[in-house]
Structure 1
Amino acid sequence: MSNGSPGPTPGFLVWRLANKWRVAVDRAVAPLGLTHAQYSVVASLHGMQRAGGRPSQRQLADHTGLEALYVSKLARALEAAGLIERTRDPRDPRAVQLTLTEQGRAVTRQAIEVVQDLHQQLLEPLGGLDGSRTRAFTDELRTLLDAPLGPSVPNDQSTQETTP
């Protein structure tokens, strides 16, 4: 048996890294009037619009990994700030489509540039944005993100096999 502690788990390290990056992005985009979550919405919306899409709030939530209710709250705040427009989808009156306004496109382009510079700095220990270690790290993260979550298995005696 080892006398030392086993060290941090991968889950703990991912959580710490995610928090570190969220705080860094929050600080970087704050001068533009955005939070990290708002940046995630406008930058994703920017990319989806450039690809010819006009996503619904639900599609944007699925794309970002944020809860649909949270995206709705963020969209209302971004609309109040004049950065996006929310309109009913003519094909589905329950769905709300999102588009960046002209001001929203300008702010988003600035924010993307700021965050790309930040990512270069944060990824420097792995060789920067274009480094081979960064590409390998990105591939590993995609593998983890693409893995489905299995159903919860209760730790219940009645579900465990017993031997005579």
Structure 2
Amino acid sequence: MPLSPGESPGFLLWHTTLRWQREIAAALAPIGLTHVQFVLLACTWWLNKEGEHPNQLAVARQAGTDVKMASQVLRTLELKGLIEREVDPSDTRSKRLRVTEAGSELAPRSIEAVELADAQFFEPAPAGELVPLLKRLAHPSD
């Protein structure tokens, strides 16, 4: 016998995810970024901050996104003046990514907005339990 929607973990997670995505979109709207633009900008910024000069594949992997979709979104971020895509001298098919000055100013502000939205959204969860659970669910082999 199937579970009712209100008792199905997958169905509840689906609805929770949709609500969370709406909250993140609302937090990012004043900044002028979509959720996926935010994720790719933040990942590029973080990798640059760690001294890396990542290519599009590395950023897509870091973000957990499809490489082709990431390439399109990274082009949009480039058009917005937030990142630069440079041909990799060691592989001319590859593009290395660098956050521009404007992107370096926007990334921390957008991360702060998303972290605040996350804190408000996940506030009902027991302190210290949510992140370990999400890590186990996201990476069961770790």
Offset at residue 80 of structure 1 (A): 0.4
Q: Which amino acid aligns with 1:5?
A: S
- Equivalence map 1:59-78=2 (5 Å): 59-78=58-77
Q: Distance in 2 between matches of 1:116 and 1:16?
A: 20
- Equivalence map 1:11-160=2 (5 Å): 11-126=10-125, 131-132=127-128, 136-147=129-140
What SS does the aligned partner of 1:98 have? strand
Q: Percent identity?
A: 35
Could you tell me which runs of 5 or more consecutive residues in structure 1 were left unpaired when the two chains were aligned. 149-164
Q: Distance in 2 between matches of 1:64 and 1:47?
A: 11
Q: Distance in 1 between matches of 2:63 and 2:14?
A: 17
Cα pair distance change 1:8/1:106, threshold 3 Å: same
Q: Distance in 2 between matches of 1:5 and 1:101?
A: 50
Per-residue CA shift, 1:75-100, capped at 9, x if unaligned?
A: 01010010110111112222111111
Moved more, 8-17 or 48-57: 8-17
Q: Which amino acid aligns with 2:132?
A: D
Q: Distance in 2 between matches of 1:58 and 1:8?
A: 39
Q: Distance in 2 between matches of 1:29 and 1:46?
A: 17
- Of structures 1 and 2, the one with the larger relative CO (CA 8 A, separation 6+) is 2
How many aligned residue pairs are there? 141
Could you tell me which runs of 5 or more consecutive residues in structure 2 were left unpaired when the two chains were aligned. none
Cα pair distance change 1:102/1:6, threshold 3 Å: closer
Cα pair distance change 1:6/1:77, threshold 3 Å: closer
Cα pair distance change 1:6/1:114, threshold 3 Å: closer
Q: Distance in 1 between matches of 2:96 and 2:7?
A: 42
Q: Distance in 2 between matches of 1:38 and 1:122?
A: 21
Per-residue CA shift, 1:133-162, capped at 9, x if unaligned?
A: xxx2211221122136xxxxxxxxxxxxxx
Q: TM-score, normalised by structure 2?
A: 0.89
